[in-house]
């Protein structure tokens, strides 16, 4: 698999769906033996996909 660079220079795995990223993290935590010992925190930059006019979040904003 190819590894990409995210918008702000961070690690970006080659995944197609948002949920795939969480599954990848969950699997890595399990394989490392840390199940129940760590939690996942997210900074999703929600302001980047919030539509103030409609008061909604466009979860497919990168596909437009």
- Calculate the average pLDDT of the chain: 84
**8 Å CB contact between 34 and 44:** no
Radius of gyration of the chain (CA): 15
What pLDDT is stored for residue 29 in this prediction? 96
**8 Å CB contact between 55 and 62:** no
Which one is predicted more confidently, 39 or 42?
Answer: 39
**Is the confidence at residue 61, as pLDDT, over 90?**
no
Per-residue pLDDT band at 30 (split at 50, 70, 90):
very high
What number of helices (H) and strands (E) belong to the chain? 1, 4
The pTM of the full predicted model, rounded to 2 decimals, is 0.60
**8 Å CB contact between 12 and 3:** yes
Q: So where are the chain's domains?
A: 3-58
**Is the confidence at residue 15, as pLDDT, over 90?**
no
């Amino acid at each position: 698999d190819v590894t990409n660079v995210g918008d702000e220079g961070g690690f970006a795995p080659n995944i197609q769906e948002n949920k795939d990223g969480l599954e990848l993290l969950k699997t890595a935590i399990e394989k490392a033996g840390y199940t129940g010992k760590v939690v996942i925190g997210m900074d999703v930059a929600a302001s980047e996909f919030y539509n103030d006019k409609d008061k909604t979040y466009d979860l497919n904003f990168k596909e437009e």
